[in-house]
Structure 1
Amino acid sequence: MLSLPSYHAIAAMVITILMFVGFVRGRMSIEIVSLLTIAVIAVGLYFFPLEGTRPIDGLALAFGGFGHYALITICALMVMGRGLVVTGALEPAARILEQVFKVNLQIGLLVSLLIAFFLSMFVNNTPVLVLMIPIFAALAQRGAMPTSKTLMPLNSASLLGGMATTIGTSTNILVVSIAVDLGMREIGVFDFTPIVLLASLVALPFIWLVTPRLLGDNRVEADDNVRRFHTRLRIAGDSALIGKDVSEIQPTLPRGITIHEQTRGPLQAQQRLHISGSHEALEDAVRVLKGELAPSWVLDRIRRLASAQGTDIMAVEMTVTADSRLISRTLPSSGIADLYGVAVLGIHRPDRLLGGRDQYSEGGDLRIVEGDVLLVMGLQDDLEAFSRGTAC
């Protein structure tokens, strides 16, 4: 007869479920949820230690993983992979890949899969995908194969290559370390390689020829619609909006501006309105309604530095990538203005992805997610530093 799990086992399952709920809800960043989970485990094992252990042993169990060689190896591979992307060390291979696609789309896809497969054997497969995804997105925009038919095969090839060595993917490193901890023989770097290479003789042709045909085409016809950026318009002290209701100012709004919330009572100075519109429409709203799209101190700083240096102020669009530190944050909590001296004027997100309650913070600010497009204003050097520092 099966016995009931211990209280510690039940608590471990409950904590695991709550951790994943925190990940899915997105109200806190993944890092905060993970640290809170470790803290709960440490405190719980201190006051309710495992049988035959001391309270301090629970602290060692909870925090000992930070010094585990498997975690250090994974972090080192991530740093190396990120360095390859940031420094552009793999860009020559990317340019060659673009030339191959110009010759033949199918041959280009095959070469791409082989590159992803072999690179993932020696570098962690995550940075390999980070490098390849923008290339395929650009190729799709130029009329090549749609991303819906190429990114999944690319991901499959990188996962397949990552399984070929013990350093190709994080899970292999963990398995090897656990095997050593259990007293098994040490697994060599290339012990898995013959098995994976044999399997790839069947898997890669399938990924190349069959998988794209099973996936749909997500390309859309080009239209004249421009990006609409969501932002908060800060009402200045001399604005004509002060003392008026939102319903009264609707006829005075510039063309293309939409107000997304209904406030109660007359508008006050420094109040923020959730609006959306194109870049040009937002500039008209600032001029006509006498408001600001970013904190006044950072806008004044940008104008002052531009005047002192004799340089132009630029407004550019930047896409949030998968490894950006901005994901799950809001603009007020990101510290962008303090760290980089640039002003984020708005966030573009397709309307079909908007509307979820968890996408907004308690203060009503939009949480940044992968794929968002930020409208950023600042000096060129500051914009480049912002792009490097936040992976945009």
Structure 2
Amino acid sequence: MLGVPSFHALAAMAVTVSMFVAFARGRLSVEIVSLVTIAVIAVGLYFFPLPGTEPTDGLELAFAGFGHYALITICALMIMGRGLVVTGALEPAARLLERIFKFNLQIGLLVSLVAAMVLSMGVNDTPVLVLLMPIFVALASRGAMPASKTLIPLNAAVLIGGMATTIGTSTNILVVSIAVDLGMPQMSVFHYTPIVLIAALVALPYLWLVMPRLLGDNRVEAAGVKRRFHTRLRIGEGSILNGQELASVIPNLPESITFHDQPEGPLSSQQRLHISGTHEALEDAMRVLKGEVAPAWVLDRIRRSSSQRREDITVVEMTVTGDSRLINRTLPTSGVADLYGVAVLGIHRPNRIMGEKEQYSTGGDLRIQEGDVLLVMGLNEELQEFARNDSLLTLDGAQELPRRSKALLSAAIMVGAVGTASVGLLPIAISALAGAIAMFLTGCVKFDRVGRALSAKVIVLVAASIAIGRIILESGAAEWLGTALALGLQFLPPAMVLAAIMLFVTLLTNFASNATAATVGTPIAYNIATQLGLPAEPLILAVLFGCNLCYATPIAYQTNMLIMAEGSYEFKDYIRTGVPLVILMTATLSVLLVISYGMG
């Protein structure tokens, strides 16, 4: 006979549902709802403590999330991801995927989803997503699909792949271990992999074609067309242009690069070409052509100073005012590099016709005019001195250049952290923390830039989800729900029993935690199998699968929260895309389990 849930269990369920409704309505920010939830739990347990506890124990339960290893792990992973971005370590992988996306956006996304699934079968879900997420953020900045349309499908693909083996996630290991303790035989690594692979094939079209359409575009559109800067590209000794005609090399360059003079015949080292393009396009052109748009000596000087002073190199845009001494001068005659130690990479001339003869010197260099915008590279102190002394107005949108000299180091740190966690040498929390510390000590990430890597929204959301998970478990709410479930399943066919168990565990994992769902759901499933005379293994697998169907809320799993800030997601984005996937996977997996174990 099912009894009435305790006062604390009712209150825990009420708080959980209230938080879910508040998140779904979206009238209050995630931070406010999370902090109010924590406050309600803390105050409620202080005045109405759980049986056998003191009022102060409730405070500890409510605020324990801020010191929980899961939150520390997520913050450490964010810091390591930031290290990969600021050092440019992911640029080669991003350029490779960019070629695929340029060939066809849909094919690029499909290849990425399949790769994510395969990787997460052998490596823990979190490290896989940490490796892939910055690549897709970089791809979005380079004109591929926006991060908001790719990160949730990518995360879902990682979670599905992680479900396919007993070592794919720590939750899988927990479920299998509890099952063995209950008397079940040990499952091998690929014991149920074929079932998940078939389900993945069914889900893949939804991830690939439908899910991105359900998500918005988080790209911030520029107020106008991006500025195009005119400059002179000096061909380097090792350039692919040496001995080649320009027409044969143009297809390898960004589409936004324009050549304004196309000399006849083969090109030679040190030859200068008049080109124009956006800042990003000029960077790509210099990389591909191994050329420079500023004197090599001043670029070397800037890099040496950056290394000695441990300061990032910055690129800013500066407008020439009417009082500037630069007016009617060319860059070679301005003496900017000698006077200030900064490099002018290009000149943008707004609302004027380029190519007029009177705008160029006899040497072919553009004469600077009032209103021109200069693209300037240097260190902060020198840039400020240049702007102050030469009457320039610094515009918003300064960019820090990647610290490419540390790219291999940051990649090695990330691989080391992921590798030690994936083979079980260290827990992910310890390896991630060690990796974050290594990023700091080696200068890949600077202490004063940590705020850019961390998201306050994610931090308070993780803390609130941990508090909810604990109160659901310790109040007896999870146990009561499981008992109610067992009583209602005795008249259902096997497929419906499996689906009900899977959905129950899915509900727990999306609002409490994977560990809670595994701990509560596995014994319940085993007892239901005994009571109904069904084989225990498919019901245990239903629990395992349900623990991994954590797509419908950001609090369900740490990877969901990792992508929340980068994708600019709201709670309703997870509900809109995740609920259909949960239903699809539950139906598919239930039918496959019935067929595989002959339960029809």
TM range (shorter): 0.3 to 0.5
Given the two structures, how large is their TM-score scaled by the length of structure 1? 0.43
Greater share of residues in helix: 2
| Higher Cα Rg, which structure | 2
